[in-house]
Structure 1
Amino acid sequence: VWPTMGADGLIVWPSGEDALTIRVYTIRALDVAEGWLDIDFVLHPGTETPAATFAQNARVGDIIGMIGPGGGGLPEASNLLLLGDDTALPAIGRMLEELAPSARAEAFIEVDGPQDRVALAAGENIAVRWLYRHGREAGRAGLLPEALRECARLPCPDDLYVWAGCEFADFREIRRIARKEWGLPRDRHLVTAYWRRGVRGEDGAGEE
Structure 2
Amino acid sequence: MAELILYTNPQSRGRIARWMLEEVGATYRVEVLDYASTMKDDAYRAINPMGKVPAIVHGGKIVTECAAICAYLAEAFPEAGLAPLPEERADYYRWMFYAAGPVEQATTNQFAQFVASEDQSRMFGYGTYDLVVDVLDTLLSSRPYATGERFTAADVYLGSQIGWTTMFGMLPKRDSFLAYVERVQSREAYQRASAMDDALVAEAEKAAEPA
TM-score, normalising length: structure 1: 0.33
Larger Rg: 1
Structure holding more helix per residue: 2
TM-score normalized by the length of structure 2? 0.32
Structure with greater strand share of residues: 1
Q: Looking at both structures, which has the greater relative contact order when contacts are Cα pairs under 8 Å and sequence separation is at least 6?
A: 2
